[in-house]
Amino acid sequence: MVFSEFNKKVVLITGAAGGIGSALCRKFLENNAIVYQTDIQHIDNPNFIQGDISDQEFIKKLVKQIIEKEGRIDVLVNNAGICPRTSLLDISIDEWRKVLDINLTSMFFLSQAVLKIMIENNSGAIVNLASAAGQVGGIAVGAHYSASKAAIECLTKTFAKNGAPYGIRVNAVAPGVIDTEIHKKSTKEQLEQYKQSIPLGRMGTAEEVANIILVLASDLASFLTGTTIDINGGQIM
């Protein structure tokens, strides 16, 4: 999949060390984008900036560093997130805050900072990672995770409405069961149950999610904003 419009465009991807994040970095680099990557976990990649995305000071430092070097940010992908599977009755206030800070609050304030820059340039695209769990509630995942992902769908619409007058598009993707590190601790029985619940009969891949995100960030989606694309193999229709 080749997108000439990404040539020399500045792309910022959070959660770059994970399965979907690393797939995204590869895809944008293959299309000659200038890709800035961030994660709390270190990875040995060019333009990688390590830090805690839930730290407001780090967000300011991250955006400032990119702008000082490149002068713009053309695409932001809010991919960073954690997914504890703590049961509803056992979630503590500290764990609740941690999940919301990383999954939701960081997405809001990083998008806010980047949107200001995109408004100055009258262009840009933001893609957020929601989840099927945000549409049906958390059963296999924690209630705090599903709540954060539901809120991301709403914030996607809010950012889209504010960015549209300046030619800025904001969309989200809602993956279902994707074969990434989040399922490394799942039993064979659980994995089989997941597959049986999916009409296409298998789990999705990180690359399949990354492909849709590239489309949403590209000119192919030039009239698409404020929407969430489901990527779940038909599990939710």
Q: Which of the residues are catalytic?
A: 145
Up-side HSE of residue 191: CA atoms within 13 Å toward CB? 14
Q: Which amino acid, 38?
A: T
Range list of H helices, 48-166: 56-70, 93-100, 106-121, 133-136, 143-163
| Neighbour count for residue 57 (Cβ, 10 Å) | 9
Quote the CA–CA distance of 150 and 136 in Å, as a whole number: 9
> Among 219, 213, 173, which Cα is nearest to 6's?
219
CA 134 vs CA 14, 51, 169, 177, 179: distances in Å: 20, 26, 21, 13, 18
Q: Which two tokens stand for residue 224?
A: 């698409």
